């Protein structure tokens, strides 16, 4: 069984780490705010006050933080991973970061002799808690084989796309599709309401037909019932970050991201009304607010 450092105990880390422990691995957790790391002591994790302390003598380390800035801080900050981890350590970036940063990081990690992989994941914290994540892996086959026994207790499927950078490339494209579905659903449900259609009936019919993707099934129910994930599953801030990374990547490789940018605009609208830290499924309420605002403006 492996000795692992897990860097990042946000919503995803909180859900993933207990599965690593259940899988028989030992886990030392570092989180910028140490209180969140301490919550995992009850599951058998140890807590480190610094990244350097967490990665001391480990077989593998995982980073699971919010974005490029956070990832840079974890890997390249003073006493960060690149300064502290021993050459030969399996080093996994699981955060959803931009393709540019991931590729730069892959180069920096390789120069330090780390066995680097990008393994972003699909699945919300509840899927992570149920060990139902899907891992999108990029890296050498032998490094993935070495890290597989650590990924397996957290996931239902591991897909290897190719060398370093391909896991994040797929994840960014996948996220744009997901964001478009959630944003389009919010508009459709809001339009159903304006058309006088009962939202429970709408959710049922949208979920049953060709439109019934897992996103539509899950979020249409939440929108109809007005009952959203608690604790919060994924925020408009997170959605906007993922969607913009994805749109920029698609353009960078010569594609377009017309629909992706439209979805991003809807999440930006939620942030503008102060709802950036709510659930993304509350996008329908964001649209209702916006309609009210427009009506009030046209009445003045």
Ligand X SMILES: NC(=O)c1ccc[n+]([C@@H]2O[C@H](COP(=O)([O-])OP(=O)(O)OC[C@H]3O[C@@H](n4cnc5c(N)ncnc54)[C@H](OP(=O)(O)O)[C@@H]3O)[C@@H](O)[C@H]2O)c1
3-state helix, strand, coil in the chain (%, to 5): 60, 15, 30
25 near ligand X, judged by CB under 6 A:
no
Instruction: Enumerate residues 79-118 that contact ligand X by CB under 6 A.
Output: 95-96
40 near ligand X, judged by CB under 6 A:
no
Indicate the burial class of 2 (C-beta count within 10 angstroms; 0-12, 13-18, 19 or more).
Answer: middle
Q: Quick one: which H or E segment has residue 291? A: helix 283-299
Pick from 139, 178, 238, 286 the residue near ligand X by CB under 6 A.
238
Pick from 112, 124, 219, 278 the residue near ligand X by CB under 6 A.
124
Structure tokens at 137: 């892996």
Report the distance separating Cα 47 and Cα 30, nearest Å. 6
Buried b (16+ CB within 10 A) or exposed e, 39-64: bbeeeebebbeebbebbeebbbbbbb
12 near ligand X, judged by CB under 6 A:
yes
247 near ligand X, judged by CB under 6 A:
no
36 near ligand X, judged by CB under 6 A:
yes
Pick from 4, 5, 6, 10 the residue near ligand X by CB under 6 A.
10
- Please give the torsion angle defined by the CA atoms of residues 158, 31, 249 and 264, in that order, rounded to the nearest 10 degrees: 110
Catalytic residue check, 171? yes
CA distances from 2 to 150, 165, 180, 262 (A): 8, 25, 39, 44
Report the distance separating Cα 284 and Cα 263, nearest Å. 13
8 near ligand X, judged by CB under 6 A:
yes
Decide whether 199 or 267 has the Cβ nearer to ligand X.
267
190 near ligand X, judged by CB under 6 A:
no
User: Catalytic pick from 171, 227, 292, 295?
Assistant: 171
Binding map of ligand X across residues 158-177, x = CB under 6 A, - = no contact: --------------------
Residues engaged in binding ligand X (CB under 6 A):
8-13, 31-33, 36, 64-66, 69-70, 73-74, 95-96, 121, 124-125, 233-234, 238, 242
Which residues are part of the catalytic machinery? 171
């Amino acid at each position: 069984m492996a000795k692992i450092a897990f860097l990042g105990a946000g919503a995803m880390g909180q859900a993933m780490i207990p599965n690593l422990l259940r899988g028989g691995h030992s886990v030392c957790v570092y989180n910028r705010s140490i209180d969140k790391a301490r919550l995992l002591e009850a599951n058998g994790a140890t807590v480190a006050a610094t990244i350097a302390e967490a990665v001391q003598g480990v077989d593998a380390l995982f980073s699971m933080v919010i974005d490029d800035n956070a990832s840079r801080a974890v890997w390249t900050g003073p006493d960060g991973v690149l300064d502290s981890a021993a050459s030969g350590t399996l080093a996994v970036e699981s955060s959803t970061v931009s393709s540019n940063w991931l590729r730069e990081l892959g180069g920096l990690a390789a120069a330090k002799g780390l066995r680097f992989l990008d393994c972003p994941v699909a699945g919300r914290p509840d899927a992570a808690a149920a060990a139902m994540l899907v891992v999108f892996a990029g890296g050498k086959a032998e490094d993935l084989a070495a890290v597989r026994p650590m990924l397996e207790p957290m996931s239902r499927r591991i897909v290897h796309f190719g060398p370093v950078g391909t896991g994040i490339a797929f994840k960014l494209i996948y996220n744009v599709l997901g964001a478009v579905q959630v944003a389009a659903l919010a508009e459709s449900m809001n339009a159903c309401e304006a058309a006088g259609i009962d939202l429970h009936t709408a959710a049922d019919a949208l979920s049953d037909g060709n439109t019934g993707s897992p996103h539509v099934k899950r979020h249409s129910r939440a929108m109809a019932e007005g009952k959203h994930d608690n604790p919060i599953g994924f925020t408009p801030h997170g959605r906007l970050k993922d969607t913009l990374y994805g749109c920029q990547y698609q353009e960078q490789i010569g594609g377009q991201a017309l629909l992706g940018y439209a979805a991003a605009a809807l999440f930006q609208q939620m942030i503008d009304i102060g709802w950036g830290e709510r659930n993304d499924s509350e996008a329908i309420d964001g649209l209702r607010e916006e309609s009210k605002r427009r009506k009030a403006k046209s009445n003045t």
